[in-house]
Structure 1
Amino acid sequence: LGHEAAGIVESVGEGVTDVKPGDHVIPCYQAECGECKFCKSGKTNLCGKVRAATGVGVMMADRKSRFSVKGKPIYHFMGTSTFSQ
């Protein structure tokens, strides 16, 4: 098994317009803050804010995991929530 993922969208939340049920998708591993010098220069792969969050497997906005099993977090990115179906 690798850490990359692919899937088919089953449902979307209110206001989601970029994807629809049935779409084939691949998650983008590298996010970007859009504010640091690297993001502003087009070198988003060097975004320090994102690297600080991805290194510990949490989301950048609130430093929390979005998934859990039996009360324990399933970490994101290399953590790897791509196996958390």
Structure 2
Amino acid sequence: METITSENLLENFTALPPEAQKEAAHFIEFLKTRYKSVKAKSDDKVEDEPFIGIWRDHDDMQNSSEWVRGLREKDWS
């Protein structure tokens, strides 16, 4: 398989019949949409979400493991 460059990609594209060019263009648009949404998700930073830190000022949440353990003991005993 040859190395893909912009030049040989364009050359191969223009060598296709018009209907195949249309299919290739649609596929490229599909890929752009697919990878745009993946990129958008990966750019989001969890620490920027509004829910981060909502329990910061709660005295009962200083140790989350202990807090969960207490809930389980209370609810499952």
**Structure whose residues are more often helix by fraction:** 2
Into which bin does the TM-score normalised by the smaller protein fall?
under 0.3
State the structure with more CA Rg: 2
Taking CA–CA contacts closer than 8 Å with sequence separation of 6 or more, which of the two structures ends up with the larger relative contact order?
1
| TM, length-normalised to structure 2 | 0.21
